[in-house]
Amino acid sequence: MASKPKDKEEKKHINIFESSIVPKHVILTADEKSELMKSLNITPKQLPRIKEDDAAVEEIGAKKGDVLKIIRKSQSAGEYVYYRVVV
């Protein structure tokens, strides 16, 4: 007898952040978001975008409009930080 394919709820959960190639993602608080926008003199619409269905966005529970701080390791700079808005 053939086995049925597993539906989404039966799939094994994999934490993508355990991989060394996935950078750390952090949701900014409202105050942090406001301070960032003020310091860069921009609006969230001017930030690069990341989709709400991105695996990293789903894993941390970010919603549309949230601003993410993404921390990537760099051989030359140690760490490189950039920001994206969830759409």
For 45-84, the pLDDT digits (tens) are 999 999 999 999 999 999 999 999 999 988 888 899 999 9
- The whole-model pTM stands at 0.78
Write down the pLDDT at residue 48.
97
Which residue ranges form the domains of the chain, and what is each CATH number? 21-86 (3.90.940.20)
Cβ-based neighbours of 11, under 8 Å, separated by 6 or more: none
> What pLDDT is stored for residue 6 in this prediction?
56
Is the pLDDT at 4 greater than 70? The verdict is no
Q: How far apart are CA 54 and CA 42, in angstroms?
A: 24
- At position 76, the amino acid (one-letter code) is S
Structure confidence by residue, pLDDT tens digits, 8-50: 556 667 777 777 778 999 999 999 999 999 999 999 999 999 9
